[in-house]
Structures are given as structure tokens and as C-alpha cells.
Amino acid sequence: ISGLFRNVVGGKVLTHEDLDKPMKGMEEHLLKKNVAREAAIRLCEGVERSLVGVKTGSFQTVDATIRSAMESSLRKILTPTSSLDLLREIQSVTSPSLASLQSRRPYVISIVGVNGVGKSTNLSKIAFFLLQNKYRVLIAACDTFRSGAVEQLRVHARNLKELGEREGGFIELYEKGYGKDAANIAKDAVSYAAQANFDVVLIDTAGRRHNDQRLMSSLEKFAKFAQPDKILMVGEALVGTDSVQQARNFNAAFGAGRHLDGFIISKCDTVGEMIGTLVSMVHATGIPVVFLGTGQHYSDLRTLNIGWAVKLLMS
Amino acid sequence: MIKEICSALLEADVNVKLVGSLRKSIKQTVNFKELAPGVNKKRLIQKAVFDELVKLVDPHAEPFKPKKGKPNVIMFVGLQGSGKTTTCTKLARHYQSRGFKSCLVCADTFRAGAFDQLKQNATKAKIPYYGSLTQTDPVVVAKEGVDKFKKERFEVIIVDTSGRHRQEQDLFDEMVQIQRAVTPDQTIMVLDASIGQQAEAQSKAFKEAADFGAIIITKTDGNANGGGAISAYVSRSRAFCR
Ligand SMILES: Nc1nc2c(ncn2[C@@H]2O[C@H](COP(=O)(O)OP(=O)(O)OP(=O)(O)O)[C@@H](O)[C@H]2O)c(=O)[nH]1
Ligand SMILES: Nc1nc2c(ncn2[C@@H]2O[C@H](COP(=O)(O)OP(=O)(O)OP(=O)(O)O)[C@@H](O)[C@H]2O)c(=O)[nH]1
Ligand SMILES: [Mg+2]
Ligand SMILES: [Mg+2]
């Protein structure tokens, strides 16, 4: 971040003119971190607005003042407004309290996103996490389009079977091959899971371009048929400005009254400090980040540590 | 005007540094103070920008052309999920339809279902393929496949490899070993059009390790403007292949 005004120390009432140049520097800094331009500009505008007319603290430079305002602004945008305790949510559905008058049913999670971002891989990582918590997990192979998609999940289910049974969980793959309607398979998988006493159904879907009207519109029927408790979108940390539109279009694809419940930001291990995608996607939708993908192995799944993210973004 | 153009380039994921240097060289080319009155300033800037961009993406080299009657080995490399496996088949079909005896080798022994994916694609396109469900060393599979197809007098032999990234040295070493084993006539890096600011660092690392001779940009049917790809390309220029 620019060293401008570094020597202006303490007790200065900030004007628009004081802030203009260093804010430009801040914007460029965010762009270099792969924050989409739209999100970077909006964040900077917010920080600038909050600082005009403010007196800098004693011994505090203008730069440091901007920095700390940007830090809290990032922290605020990344902090979810409601609890993200997935295991507790699952518990409340699979073992409902008597008072709730609900009967036991499987918890349904579906994973969506554009092509090649890591949907199937991160779905398998979530399965591993659930197995470690001794759940009975059904994976539904609802990508009936891409070559090898079913076999890919079959391999994961086979690998996880051994790992999972050691941990006390159970896993099975529900598949109906290629070419069939994904929404129907999803629906059947959920009924099968209820019958066979599964705790969680993880539904994989085919990758689709967010600007492909036809494929995007089929998501509405999918949500209606599968009735997922959680729709998670995978966005890869590698993606640039397109992140904003991806997030918006997927968030709007499930029909009135239904939207995304969270993001999985994958491939974080491939971008070093340039983790701006997570800011862009949250900025575009207000939907929280539930998991980060940090590698290609089953254990490479993390929850978002906001302090860590803000530190990387500001470094 | 220049400002607007630079904003548009940033919006399109062109590398932040690159936009800066572009801005400078345009300002140098178009000397605003000495413009005669009545000259269409907007047109002039547009032309300068266009020329600069063309300069950036002009390959300055002849694209690779496989030769009939001899084996031409082409190896695919790139980041995870960029579209290598899909594009391999597309390229094989492209050469097949131009009369080259073409085939595919699956040297991705890591990703779950990778061989099934290539197999199903190849079968649909009626292209012979090689791979193994049991051999876990991609170097061995690659070598076996290429040797077999060379013996059978195939003309275009395309080798698909696993996705990898510069932060994992082991994966890069593996790529170099595969390359040594099959000595490709052409190495192609596959890049997703939607890539952001990592484009430069990643493609630079791939260039240094695998010295690719061409980049194929995939998923241009999406929304992204491919600016990241320009950045990647500029840092590592050579023949451009689509
Ligand atoms: N480095 C890294 N690679 C990842 C991560 N998550 C997934 N990948 C890799 O990205 C590639 C694509 O992953 P998939 O899970 O097949 O992606 P997908 O979204 O299901 O792809 P489609 O179904 O074809 O749209 C694979 O090579 C994965 O190993 C991650 O967190 N880090
Ligand atoms: N829309 C669109 N999708 C594409 C294109 N090329 C590939 N894909 C999709 O992107 C996803 C990933 O493609 P793959 O060919 O599996 O990518 P890869 O580089 O082989 O992936 P790894 O082997 O896991 O590293 C698949 O869903 C493909 O169908 C393209 O040009 N346009
Ligand atoms: Mg998939
Ligand atoms: Mg592949």
C-alpha cells in the first residue's frame, strides 16, 4: 500500500482530497489481490465515506487510518449474519427434538457451480468430514452429462468407504448413469435415503455456465424436486472478475424465495495471497463462505477463518 | 478516455501491472499537447490502444504444424479443471478430420475418474486411446502409451496430464518427468478464460518448467473477457493456438 501521507501523523480531520490518492492506492491493492473491480470500488467508497470528517487518532497516519478502516470493513463483509454450524443443523433434522413435532428425515445438501471449479471433489471432502462425525452419507450422482462424472464419484465413494467405516460412518453412491434428468434422480435419491435411514444426502450436479439460460433454468426444477436444506455453490479462487456474475446468476437461479445458502471457495492453495474471490462473491450476494478448499485430498477442507483472510488481503 | 479503457481492461482481469504499462505507452504514442485542432482524439486513442493490444498478443512465431507420415507428440499441461481432458479430445478430432491418424494417451493417474472421462470422450469421437486403471505412475503410462502408438504409426499422439499448480513442486517435477519421457514436439498450456490475477504467476511457472509452445484458452463461451489470459500470454508469449 502506498506510502503517501505516511508522515502526516495524528489529529488531522480528513477531507475528501486527503483521502483521494491513498484510496486509489488501496483500490489497486485490492485488485492485485484478485478482488473484482466492482467489489474493490464499492469497498473503497464505503471506507472513504466513513472517514471523511473523521479526525485521525494521535500518532496515527492517514495510511494507517485507511488500513484499519478497510480491515474492519472486510471483516464485516465476511462475517456471516447467522450461525454456520452445519453439524448442528444436520442434527436438528436427523434427530429432531420432541418439541419440534418434526419426524426424522435426511438432511439434503446440493452442490452447484460452473464447470471444473471443484464441485465433485469438494463434495467428497464434505462426505469425508461427515463420515468422521459418524454419519450415514448417501452421495447422489446427478451430473448425468459430463463424461466420467459418475465413475469419478464411484472412485471417491469406494475410497471413502474404507476411511469412513474406520471412523464409524457409512457411505453409499446413488447412481442412475448418464443422460437422465438430474432433478428426478435427485428426488429419487432423497426418497431412497429416507427409506434406508441415511442422515445426509450429498447431491453432485453438472457444471454449467452461469450465462447459459437453458442450463441455469433447469436449476429451479432441481431445487423443487430435491428440496435441499442447503444449496452450496463452489467458486474457485482462481477466477477473476467473473466471480461476481457467477455468484449473482447462481443465487438467482432457484426461483422466487430460494437462494444460495453458502459458498465453497475452492483451490485456495493455488492463489497464494490473492484470495480476493471470496470477497467478490460475498460482496455480490451477501451469502456467506461456508468452506474453503485447500487442496486435492479429502482432508483439504477448512472453515473460513476471518482473521486469516483479512490478514492475507491486507498483506 | 484512457481512464475508461484502463477500467475496462481491469474489469476484464488484465494484470494490474500490465494495465499500468499499457497506459504509459499509449500516453507516449499519442502526444496530446501537439495534436492539431480538429483531430479526432477519441479515434486516435482507440487506434493506439488497439495497436498496443495487438502488439501484445501477436505471437511473432509460426504456429506448430504436425507433419504427415511421422509421429507428432503433443502434451497438455495446465491448472486443475482448466479443460485439458476436454480439449485434448477436441484437438484430436480436429487433426483426425484433417486426415491425421490421431490418438489419445491418459497420463492422469491422479484424478478420480480421469481415465473414464478420457475413454468416454474418445469413444464418442471414435479416437483410439491408451490408459491404465492399475498403473499409478503417470510417467510410465505416458511412455507406454506414446511408444505403443508410435509403433502403430499414429501421426498425432496427444498426451493428457493431471491438473497442477506452481505452489506444489512435486507436481511440477512430475510434469517435467513426463515431458522427458515422451519428448513432445509441442507442449500446450490450457488456460480457463475466466482466470484472474493469478494468470501471470501460474503461466510463468508453467513456462519455466515445461516451456510450452502454445496456450489454448477454454470456456470462452462464458462471460469472462479473457483478460487474465492476455496477461498470461504477455508474460510468456509464443504461438497462439485455438
Ligand atoms: N489445488 C486444488 N485443486 C482442487 C481443489 N478442489 C478441486 N480441485 C481439482 O480441480 C479439478 C476439478 O475438480 P472437480 O471436482 O472434478 O470439479 P467439478 O466442478 O466437479 O467439475 P465438472 O463436474 O466437470 O464441472 C480436479 O483436478 C480437482 O482435483 C482444491 O481445493 N485445490
Ligand atoms: N463451457 C465450457 N466448459 C468447458 C470447456 N472446456 C472444458 N469445459 C468443462 O470444464 C470442466 C473441466 O474440464 P476438464 O477437461 O475435465 O478439465 P481438466 O483440465 O482436464 O481437469 P483436471 O484433469 O481435473 O485438471 C468440464 O465440466 C468440462 O466439460 C469449454 O470450452 N466451455
Ligand atoms: Mg463434477
Ligand atoms: Mg483432466
Give B85-132 pLDDT, tens digit per residue.
Answer: 999 999 999 999 999 999 999 999 999 999 999 999 999 999 999 999
Instruction: Single out the residue of B209, B213, B215 nearest to residue B232, CA to CA.
Output: B215
Q: Whose CA is nearest to atom 32 of ligand 2?
A: B219
Provide the 3-class DSSP secondary structure of residue B84: helix
Give the pLDDT score at A4: 53
More confident residue, B148 or B57: B148
Distance A62 CA to ligand 2 centre (A): 46
Stated as kind and residue range, the H or E segment containing B150 is: helix B138-151
Whole-angstrom distance, CA of residue A126 vs CA of residue A120: 10
Provide the whole-model pTM: 0.92
**Is pLDDT at B60 greater than 50 in this prediction?**
yes
Q: Is the CB of A207 under 6 A from ligand 1?
A: yes
For residue A114, give the ligand 1 atom closest to its CA. 25
Do A215 and A247 meet the contact criterion of CB atoms below 8 Å apart?
A: no
Which pLDDT score is estimated for B172? 97
| CATH code, domain carrying B225 | 3.40.50.300
Asked if residue B63 belongs to a domain, the reply is: no
pLDDT digits (tens, 9 = 90+) for B2-13: 788 788 888 888
A295: alpha, beta or left? (left if phi > 0; alpha if psi -120 to 50): left
Q: Which of residues 71-110 of A touch B (CB under 8 A)?
A: none
Sign of CA dihedral B92, B94, B97, B99: negative
Cell numbers standing for residue B168: 506444489
Based on the domain organization, do B26 and B107 belong to the same domain? Answer: no
Cβ–ligand 1 contact at A235 (below 6 Å) = no
Q: Does B197 touch chain A if contact means CB atoms closer than 8 Å?
A: yes
Taking the CA of residue B78 as reference, the ligand 2 atom at the shortest distance is 19
CB–CB contact B201 A238 (8 Å) = no
> What pLDDT is stored for residue A102 in this prediction?
86
For the cut 60, the answer to whether the pLDDT of residue B240 exceeds it is: no
Size of interface A-B (CB pairs under 8 A): 137
Q: What is the pLDDT along chain A (315 residues), one digit of tens a residue?
A: 455 555 556 778 899 998 999 999 999 999 999 999 999 999 999 999 999 999 888 778 888 999 999 999 999 999 998 888 999 999 999 999 888 888 899 999 999 999 999 999 999 999 999 999 999 999 999 999 999 999 999 999 999 998 888 888 999 999 999 999 999 999 999 999 999 999 999 999 999 999 999 999 999 999 999 999 999 999 999 999 999 999 999 999 999 999 999 999 999 999 999 999 999 999 999 999 999 999 999 999 999 999 999 999 999
User: What's the pLDDT score for residue A8?
Assistant: 56
Residues of chain A neighbouring B194 (CB-CB closer than 8 A): 114, 239-240, 242
Q: Among B188, B239, B110, B41, which Cα is nearest to A121's?
A: B110
Q: Is B85 in the pocket of ligand 2 (CB under 6 A)?
A: yes
Check CB contact under 8 Å for A153 and B119.
no
Judging contacts by C-beta atoms under 8 Å, the chain A residues touching residue B197 are 31-34, 240, 274, 276
In which band, very low, low, confident or very high, does the pLDDT at B63 lie, cut at 50, 70 and 90?
A: confident
For residue B66, being part of any structural domain is answered with no
- Within-domain flag for B217: yes
**Residue B233: predicted pLDDT:** 54
Taking residues B159-177, what's their average pLDDT?
97
Average pLDDT, chain B: 86
Query: What residue in A sits closest to B162 (Cα-Cα)?
Result: A296
With respect to residue B102, please indicate whether it lies within any of the assigned structural domains.
yes
Inter-helix orientation angle B41-57/B227-235, to 10°: 60
| pLDDT given for residue B58 in this prediction | 61
Q: Does A117 contact ligand 1 (Cβ within 6 A)? A: yes
The amino acid that residue A76 corresponds to is: K
Containing H/E element for B44? Answer: helix B41-57
Asked whether residue B101 falls in the same domain as residue B28, the answer is: no
Report pLDDT for B95: 95
Tell me if B82 sits within 8 A of B229, measured CB to CB. Answer: no
- Asked if B16 and A114 come within 8 Å (Cβ–Cβ), the reply is no
Comparing alpha-carbon positions, the chain B residue that sits nearest to A208 is B222
In this structure, are B46 and B81 located in the same domain?
Answer: no
CATH number for B41: 1.20.120.140
Residue A107 zone, left/alpha/beta (φ > 0; ψ -120 to 50; rest): beta
Q: Are residues B10 and B108 in the same domain?
A: no
| Contact B89 CB / ligand 2 (< 6 Å) | no
Cβ within 8 Å, pair A34-B167: no
Residues A241, B13: C-beta atoms closer than 8 Å = yes
Q: Where does the pLDDT of residue B237 fall: very low under 50, low under 70, confident under 90, or very high at 90 and above?
A: very low
Domain, as residue range, for B194: 72-240
Query: Of all atoms in ligand 2, which is nearest to the CA of residue B161?
Result: 23
The alpha carbon of A287 and the centre of ligand 3 are apart by a number of angstroms equal to: 22
B224 to A240: CB separation less than 8 angstroms, yes or no: yes
B108 lines ligand 2 (CB under 6 A): yes
Residue B113 lies in a domain: yes
Total count of domains within chain B: 2
Q: Does A32 touch chain B (CB under 8 A)?
A: yes
Q: Which helix (H) or strand (E) element contains residue B117?
A: helix B114-124
Q: Quick one: cell of B117? A: 472421462
A284: alpha, beta or left? (left if phi > 0; alpha if psi -120 to 50): alpha
Task: Tell me the C-alpha to C-alpha distance, in Å, between residue B44 and each of A246, B3, B14, B192.
Answer: 35, 15, 22, 32
From chain A residues 270-299, the ones with a CB under 8 A of any chain B CB are 270-272, 274, 276-277, 296
Asked if the model's pLDDT at residue B80 lies above 80, the reply is yes
- Considering only residues 234 to 253 of chain A, which have any Cβ-Cβ distance to chain B shorter than 8 Å? 236, 238-243, 245-246
Domain match, B121 and B193 both: yes
Q: Which pairing describes strands A170-174 and A200-205: parallel, antiparallel, or unpaired?
A: unpaired
Phi, psi of A271 (to 5 degrees): -120, 0
Residue B125, domain member (yes or no): yes
Q: Are residues B91 and B128 in the same domain?
A: yes
Does residue B45 share a domain with residue B82?
A: no
Instruction: Report the chain A residue with the minimal C-alpha distance to residue B196.
Output: A240
Cα of B85 vs centre of ligand 2, distance in Å, is 7
**Do B89 and B154 fall within a single domain?**
yes
Name the residue among A32, A148, A151 with its Cβ closest to that of B197.
A32
Residues B232, B129 share a domain: yes
Does residue B181 fall inside a structural domain?
yes
Q: How far apart are the first and last CA of chain B?
A: 32
Q: How confident is the model at residue B66 (pLDDT cuts 50, 70, 90)?
A: very high
Task: State whether A151 and B16 contact (CB < 8 Å).
Answer: no
Atom 11, ligand 2: which residue's CA is nearest?
A116
**A164 CB less than 6 Å from ligand 1?**
no
CB B69 within 8 A of CB B155: yes
State the pLDDT at residue B4: 80
Contact flag B16-A277 (C-beta cutoff 8 Å): no
Residue numbers in A near B201 (CB within 8 A): 272
Q: How far apart are CA B206 and CA B118, in angstroms?
A: 23
Q: DSSP code of A160?
A: H
Position in ligand 2 atom list of the atom nearest CA B88: 15
pLDDT band at B229 (very low <50, low <70, confident <90, very high): low
Contact between A135 and A200 (Cβ < 8 Å): yes
Residue nearest (by alpha carbon) to ligand 2 atom 3:
B219
Contact A66, A19 (CB under 8 A): yes
**pLDDT, greater one: B213 or A158:** A158
Q: Are residues B215 and B185 in the same domain?
A: yes
Asked if residue B176 and residue B210 are part of one domain, the reply reads yes
Q: Check residue A7 and give its pLDDT.
A: 52
pLDDT of residue B35 exceeding 70, the answer is no
Q: What are phi and psi of A45, to 5 degrees?
A: -60, -45
Whether pLDDT at B203 is above 50: yes
| Same domain as B20, residue B137 | no
> Distance, in angstroms, between A241 CA and closest chain B CA?
6
**Residue B96 domain-assigned (yes or no):** yes
Dmax of chain A from CA atoms?
70
Give the closest of A115, A148, A276 to B219, CB-based.
A115
